[in-house]
Amino acid sequence: MELPRGVRCHPPSVEPWSHPLGTVGGTDLVHVNLTNNETREAAALKWLDAAETARWRRYRHPRPGRQFALCRAVLRGLLCERLQCANEDLRFVALEHGKPAAFVGDTPVPLSFNVSHGGNHGLIAFAPQGRLGVDIEERNLRHDPDGEIRKVFTADEQDALASAVGDIKTRLFFKLCTLKEAVIKALGTGFSLDTATFELPRPMYRDGQRQARFELPPLRQLPRHTRVTWRLDDLGTDDFAAAVARELPPQVG
Amino acid sequence: MSDVETRLFSLAQENLDLGRDPDWDLKLSESDLSSMDAVAFIKLVNHEFGIDIPPEDLGDIDTMRALAKYIEGQTA
């Protein structure tokens, strides 16, 4: 099942379930439509290898299986297109905390990527280099933002959240969550990094700023701390909350 | 289920939007649980069981069953 030049992963008979969202700071973003659609899911499954199909079968409930299959098929198609490789030559391995890494044969792919899904929305990001993390969520409040969940934020982030009301509070809660999740995913630390131990750039959660650069403080969970500048973008729309975190290359000169 | 598993099961049902009963042996990295939800859940677990799981131990806890065993070891 070699992917010819310029052909995306959607077979001609199936309506595409992804579209480009644009580029921010050199990071290309693609939205994936994860609404329930058996035709799309069946088409997506044809693009998965044996290990991915086995993983899909392990999901006991349809929603996470659908999210995984539809996103992974699009990721495979886009990587094949960018790398000009055959789908069969592409394989994924999970790093320590589940972050996927891709190989063509035995060679790591020469670009950064990350995938997120939340509800009916998927998000895939590509960058030429540097650690990269994305997150996308539907704004369905499952928690009282001022309840126990607030402890995943720093004191100042909690204060900003406590001061907000109504829809603004909901949007701020998801903005904070997606930005922090994007950072964690870029670092690849999973839930071993306590998100209350680092504070997001204040203008992003106090003044509505949508893009900022910041440095993580030295953290116990990150023993090999080196100074790294990160670019954070709030990608939220009326339909979803989303964010991307990207490690910037060191400044030259 | 042990007492710890029963309490953990209730905590997960009440606080994680899994849309299903918790799967004891599913790898957390393969669940649709976000890291933020997982961080919040670990804070709840610490509070509920009166423990403080250090970050270096979290790397070895890859399933809900492993979390239950860890708690049993800490509270025995």
| pLDDT surpasses 60 at A12 | no
A contacts of B17 (beta carbons < 8 Å) = 142
Q: What is the pLDDT of residues A211-231, one digit of tens each?
A: 999 998 877 666 666 778 999
A122-143 pLDDT, tens digit each: 999 999 999 999 999 999 887 7
Q: Which residues of B touch A143 (CB under 8 A)?
A: 15, 40
Residue B30 DSSP symbol: G
**Which of A96, A138, A144, A191 should one mutate to test binding to chain B, selecting the residue with the greatest count of B CBs within 10 A?**
A191
Whether the CB of A96 is below 8 Å from some CB of chain B: the reply is yes
Q: Calculate mean pLDDT across residues B27-45.
A: 80
Q: Which tens digit of pLDDT belongs to each residue from B50-67? A: 998 887 788 788 888 999
Q: What is the rounded distance in angstroms from the CA atom of residue A138 to the CA atom of residue A130?
A: 27
Q: Which residues of B touch A241 (CB under 8 A)?
A: none
- Secondary structure (3-state) at B46: helix
Q: What is the pLDDT of residue A6?
A: 43
CB contact under 8 A, A148 and B42: no
* Residues A159-178, mean pLDDT to the nearest whole number: 95
A78 has a pLDDT exceeding 70: yes
List of domains in chain B? 3-75 (1.10.1200.10)
Average pLDDT rounded to a whole number, residues A83-102: 87
Sort out which chain B residues have CB atoms less than 8 A from A142's CB and list them: 17
Q: Which of the four pLDDT bands, split at 50, 70 and 90, describes residue A3?
A: very low
Chain B residue with minimum CA distance to A117: B32
Least-confidence region, from A45-54, A62-71, A153-162, B13-22: B13-22
CA torsion sign for A29, A103, A118, B35 is: negative
Of A101, A135, A122, the residue nearest A44 (C-alpha): A122
Q: What is the pLDDT of residue A140?
A: 86
**Would you call B20 an interface residue with chain A, using a CB distance cutoff of 8 Å?**
yes
Kindly state whether B51 is in contact with chain A, defined as any CB-CB distance less than 8 angstroms.
no
CB contact under 8 A, B28 and A191: yes
Which chain A residue shows the shortest CA-CA distance from B48? A148
Mean pLDDT calculated for residue range A12-24: 84
Structure tokens at A87: 């789908």
Percent of chain A with pLDDT over 90: 69
Residue A98 near chain B (CB below 8 Å): yes
Task: Give the pLDDT band (50/70/90) at residue A99.
Answer: confident
Sheet holding A27-33, edge to edge: A18-24, A27-33, A121-127, A112-118
Domains and CATH numbers, chain A: 18-129 (3.90.470.20), 135-247 (3.90.470)
